Amino acid sequence: MDDDFLKDYRKAAEVHRQVRQYVQTIAKPGITMTKLADEIEEGVRGLTGHQGLESGDALKAGMGFPTGLCLNNVAAHWTPNPGGKEVVLQYDDVLKVDFGVHVNGRIVDSAFTVAANPVYDNLLVAVKEATNTGLKEAGIDARIDQISERIQEVMESYEVEINGKVMPVKAVENITGHNILRYKIHGDKQVPFVKTKTDQRMEEGDIFAIETFGTTGNGYLTDDIGVYGYGRNENFRPTGLQYASAKSLLKTIDENFGSLVFSRRYLERLGVKNYHLGMRSLIASGVVEDYAPLVDIPGSYVAQFEHTVLLRPNCKEVISRGDDY
């Protein structure tokens, strides 16, 4: 964690703070998800000084992964796609805003939840307090099983009343916080928000995205239809690709995104056309993975809060912390 590392992380964190504070002023009923995603992404690209339109520019700084804009029972991994049906934010919606900013591959991952209707206040408070508990418990040599147990205790001490029905806030059991590696949003360590058995500990030099999801639903997420984004599988070598379109697309992916997750909007912004056949071929061969939206049961509401923490040798730094939360 040298000077360059901290300089990169501090810049990425400051960009995240500025963009999300602006987003909170415009994430109001009536705005479309495409408009919101565009505002976030253009803000990040503008403030990092990297528009990502030249080969390799997006690898210097910019979006760490596609902007997540998830409504109600959609918990994670939804983003507006080109040509898709436009989604407009409503007064009764619960919106999770999850985006990442990277500078030289140092990714700051932070998320928050917006709800215009105060009926959801307790749900948001439960999840924010659970995330803050995880951040408080995190540290060098901290046991992940103890952190998870404390997060769940705090989260599930809350209940919420919606339409006259009182419901417990449940911790989502099959999605987790995670450590972050350079140019790789998900590392090999996980921080669940439910009591778990593991002997894993946090270590000096680790970078963690401490996030929690609370729900009025089942607390178990399943894949929905649709595509959130794509990621290069570095363990698969691209041998025997049949189509020229697949080879050309893979070259574009490697040059512009590397191991960063990207979306259809990011490809089309680069001017890539007619990529669907090539992408199907890359996915079928295992070279690229696709990610679907993750949902709880229809009619449920999910909230999320998240911060990035650096476990430095002499201190614990919640790098993405801001005046907002």
* pLDDT, tens digit, 9 for 90 and up, residues 218-246: 999 999 999 999 999 988 877 778 788 89
Percent of the chain with pLDDT over 90: 91
Q: Which CATH number fits domain 229-289: 3.40.190.10, 1.25.10.10, 1.10.10.10, 3.40.366.10?
A: 1.10.10.10
pLDDT band at 115 (very low <50, low <70, confident <90, very high): very high
> What is the average per-residue pLDDT within 288-312?
97
> What is the average per-residue pLDDT within 158-175?
96
Please tell me whether 211 is known to bind a ligand.
Answer: yes
* pLDDT, tens digit, 9 for 90 and up, residues 182-206: 999 998 999 999 999 999 999 999 9
What would the two tokens of residue 251 be? 């070259």
pLDDT band at 1 (very low <50, low <70, confident <90, very high): low
Please tell me whether 16 is known to bind a ligand.
Answer: no
Please tell me whether 102 is known to bind a ligand.
Answer: no
Residue pair 159/235 in contact (Cβ under 8 Å)? The answer is: no
* pLDDT, tens digit, 9 for 90 and up, residues 258-293: 999 999 999 999 999 999 999 999 999 999 999 999
What are the start and end residues of each CATH 1.10.10.10 domain in the chain? 229-289
Show the beta-strand stretches assigned E in 224-324. Answer: 229-232, 288-291, 294-295, 302-311, 316-318
What are the start and end residues of each CATH 3.90.230.10 domain in the chain? 3-227+295-318
* pLDDT, tens digit, 9 for 90 and up, residues 11-49: 999 999 999 999 999 999 999 999 999 999 999 999 999
Please tell me whether 178 is known to bind a ligand.
Answer: yes
pLDDT at 70: 98
Please tell me whether 54 is known to bind a ligand.
Answer: no
**pLDDT > 70? residue 101:** yes
CATH architecture of the domain with range 3-227+295-318: Alpha-Beta Complex (3.90)
Has this prediction a pTM greater than 0.85?
yes
Please tell me whether 276 is known to bind a ligand.
Answer: no
Residue pair 287/232 in contact (Cβ under 8 Å)? The answer is: yes
User: Helix crossing, 33-48 with 3-26: angle to 10°?
Assistant: 150
